[in-house]
Amino acid sequence: MPEGPSIIILKEQLVPFKNKKVLKAYGYADIDFNLINNQKITDFISHGKHTFICFKNYFLSIHLMMFGTYRINTRKENNPVLSLEFKTGEINFYTSQVKLFEGKPKDFFSWETDVMSEEWNPKYVENIINTTKDTKVCDALLNQDIFTGVGNIIKNEALFNSKIHPESLTHSLPTKKIKVLITETEKYSLNFLKWKKEGLLSQKWKVYEKKICSRCNISLIKAKLGKGKRSTYFCANCQILYK
């Protein structure tokens, strides 16, 4: 269940554990739990689809991948990949990718490409897109080095709202259209967060998992497009192909 905005919600739920000491850390993650035990959490930081749990000298990176889940102060039947027990409660992650880094997140990552970050820099992203070649827009959107945190739902909805065909080539898009794409991606990501919190996310979809175009009333196309062959929904009539 990940995509940048969902990870923001996760981070907000973790906040009560900030400055709390981990009494016991365990799970099937391939990390040295001794480095975490009895350490105080200094911060929780989101970076696209990653959540960083920070300690003084180390930080954990959690990625929910496609099927990851978590529970706060409750448990699931399955074995957790990472469980952190505190005096005041517990955090449990399941089927996620967990890594341990030495140092600070800032030493490894930057936030200019992260739509959900305060450091989000649309101009910077525009410059990156201008350097791409032989790249389909649907792939550019899922490229975490260009749009950190954007996933398949945001991709489909942002393309529909931008009226751009997913197989358009980035270097064929007029500058104006690139700006529209970036703005619409930002706008939809913020709405994703808002609607998910309100429980309205799936009702608000205009193309994702839809059959009919809400603008033209014709049938939408569903195809596995791009490098990752991800499900892509689009209207062949109102989403223009730039090639």
* Residues binding DNA (CB under 7 A): 1-3, 6, 48-49, 63, 65-67, 69, 76, 78-79, 94-95, 142, 144, 151-153, 208, 227-228, 230-231
Nearest residue (CB) to DNA, 2 versus 105: 2
**Which residue lies nearer to DNA by CB, 41 or 181?**
181
Closest CA to 233 of 157, 181, 168: 157
Residue 19 CB, shortest distance to DNA, in Å, is 29
As measured in angstroms, the least distance from the Cβ of 242 to DNA is 20
Minimum gap (Å) between residue 53 Cβ and DNA: 18
What minimum distance in Å lies between the beta carbon of 169 and DNA?
A: 13
Cβ closer to DNA: 41 or 116? 116
For DNA, the closer CB: 90 or 157 = 157
CB atoms within 10 A of CB 25: 22
- Residue (20 or 210) nearer to DNA, CB: 210
Nearest-approach distance from CB 20 to DNA, in angstroms: 26
